[in-house]
A = this chain, B = another copy of it.
Amino acid sequence: MTETAEQAAVRAVIEDRIDAIHAGDAERTNACLAEDVVAFEAVPPLAISGEAVCDVEVTRAWLTMYEEPPRIEVRDLVIHASDDVAFAHALHHLTGRRPDGTSVDFWLRSTLGLKRIGGEWKIVHAHGSVPFHIDGSYRAALDLQPD
């Protein structure tokens, strides 16, 4: 299916954010966030919003938890976009190495909601998560692979 101009514009925002993460560039990672963004992150709390999401220092702290900036492989990206509202979902393979030698390597699910604000697509909602096992352990299923 041919990509619309709106889908292409949203894809560019998403790809630029991933590139910025790979470059370890906290400012550019956060540049696409709307001021009033609401995030449901993979780890507590249930929700955070606004400055707590946009804080470049928090993003920098995350990026520098790794020896090198983490890598995110994006798979199964689907974008639905109209003139000024869009959402996208994908699977993310997050990999990295902590300074203590620990490897981070798991898949998570990413959903983004975007709006065109002042002519620019901005992320107003982000939801990242890992499902949890219902075998009684209730542990995050960090061992899953995509089909």
Q: Looking at the complex, which one of B41, B89, B133, B140 makes contact with A125 (CB distance below 8 Å)?
A: B89
Which residues of the partner chain B approach A43 to less than 8 Å between Cβ atoms?
A: 131-134, 141
Residues on B with C-beta less than 8 A from A32 are: none
**Copies of this subunit:** 2
Which residues of A78-93 are within 8 A (CB) of B? 78, 80-87, 89, 91
The reply to whether A130 and B132 contact each other, CB–CB distance below 8 Å, is yes
Give the size category of A's interface with B.
35 or more
Minimum CB–CB distance from A119 to chain B (whole Å) comes to 15
A144 close to B (CB within 8 Å): yes
| Contact mask for chain A residues 13-48; partner B; CB cutoff 8 A; 1 contact, 0 none | 000000000000000000000000010111111110
* 0/1 interface trace, chain A 95-134, chain B, CB 8 Å (1 if under): 0000000000001010101010000000011010111111
- With A and B bound together, what is the CA distance between A145 and B132 in angstroms? 18
Question: Are the C-beta atoms of B47 and A109 separated by less than 8 Å?
Answer: yes
Q: How far is the CB of A98 from chain B (nearest CB, A)?
A: 12
Return A65 CB to nearest CB of chain B, in Å.
Answer: 11
Which chain B residues border A44 with CB–CB below 8 Å? 131, 133, 141, 144
- Tell whether A137 is near chain B: CB-to-CB under 8 Å: yes
Bound together, the chains give a CA A85 to CA B85 distance in angstroms of 6
Q: Cβ of A131: which chain B residues have Cβ within 8 Å of it? A: 40-46, 129
Taking a contact as CB atoms closer than 8 A, the residue among B45, B82, B127, B133 that contacts A147 in the complex is B45
